Amino acid sequence: MNVAYVDTSFLVCTKLKQPGFAAAIRKLRSFDELFSANLLEAEIRSVIAREQILTGADLLKGVRWIIPNRTLGGEIEKVLSAGYVRGADCWHLAAALYLANEVGSISFLTLDERQRVVARALGFRE
């Protein structure tokens, strides 16, 4: 099964039709399952409000939620050992580590360059 963790930047690109949006849509469609932390919902809805987009919650359709039942302290330490990222980016990477049985078994989709560098250092596929 082809699984990916999707970050907010990747979905926002498709909705706002930013440069590379067609390739991002193709990439999303290439996966059997998409996962994200439920932080994604707040981030997506914030962008929708900021950009005054009438629709956009459809971006959440098909995303399966990662809702940890414990602290992600160990995962956060791994993320920050691989490189510095801001809080929300760190949380997304930690949630992806929580999801993955083997880090190299899933992809991490982001358009944030710093987050991409850390995801690669952790062993995620793109």
Instruction: Quick: pLDDT tens for 2-43.
Output: 999 999 999 999 888 899 999 999 999 999 999 999 999 999
At residue 126, what is the residue type?
E
Dihedral angle, C-alpha 51, 57, 63, 64, nearest 10 °: 120
Query: Domain limits of the chain?
Result: 3-122
pLDDT single digits (tens) 65-96: 999 999 999 999 999 999 999 999 999 999 99
Q: How far does the chain reach from its first CA to its final CA, in angstroms?
A: 15
The CATH number assigned to the domain with range 3-122 reads: 3.40.50.1010
Q: Rounded to two decimals, what is the model's pTM? A: 0.93
Specify the pLDDT at position 119: 98
pLDDT at 58 over 90: no
Q: Which two tokens stand for residue 10?
A: 């990747």
